[in-house]
Amino acid sequence: MQIIIFGSPGVGKGTQAKILSAKLNIPHISTGDILREAIKNQTEVGKKAKEIVEHGELVPDSIMGEIVKQTLHDQKCKSGFILDGFPRTIAQAEILEKIFESLKNESLFLIKLDADDNVIIQRLSNRMVCSKCGNIVVKDEVTENYKCPVCGSVNSYYKRRDDDESVIKHRLEVYHQTTAPVFDFYKTKAAVIDVDGTQHINDVTNQILSKLGVSCN
């Protein structure tokens, strides 16, 4: 099963991708993670990406496309994958289209998580992240000597700079201008699953699985 998970910043793409990865037994491919892995493993494209990143520049679509291609052709993706964070632009979607043409032809699903901008702003501006394991909680939960429920670290939660309201609004503007049109690109190329991403995490997961034709148990 080949899946692209799609939606605005903070809508819960990463959370749902991890849950679905475990339930469907297919890898969650986060482009941020595979970029860091390629750099760490010093692959040919990883070396190119490292030089660019170290100069503070954005990795070009051509290099990101090559990293995604190598990952999706890996043995671990033979039964499918959940792609998170790519494509973000029409140009990236066109690159991915060529990658899919070289893969085994399977049904492609696009999971689109919807949320109103005001909900996203409220959600992101009120979250805190564990510096040790990356777990996210609501700001009101974090009290003095708060212990992370995942890794057990104490006083490890902080608010990310990109979760400031002004930054969130800018990220949403970029999303609507450059990323949202990608959805239209896939309307006739994939089976689209549209879900309200503001619901409880379990409800979102169950709706996705139901629309994929997979048992929720």
Question: So which residues are the catalytic ones?
Answer: 13, 88, 127, 160, 171
Whether 86 contacts 28, CB under 8 Å: no
Write the Ramachandran bin of 134: left for phi over 0, alpha for psi from -120 to 50, otherwise beta: left
Query: Which residue matches tokens 């070396």?
Result: 47
Give the C-alpha separation, 21 to 181, whole Å: 26
Query: Which residues are CB-contacts of 120 (< 8 A; sequence separation ≥ 6)?
Result: 8, 9, 10, 11, 168, 172
Give the C-alpha separation, 128 to 126, whole Å: 7
C-beta atoms surrounding 85 within 10 Å: 21
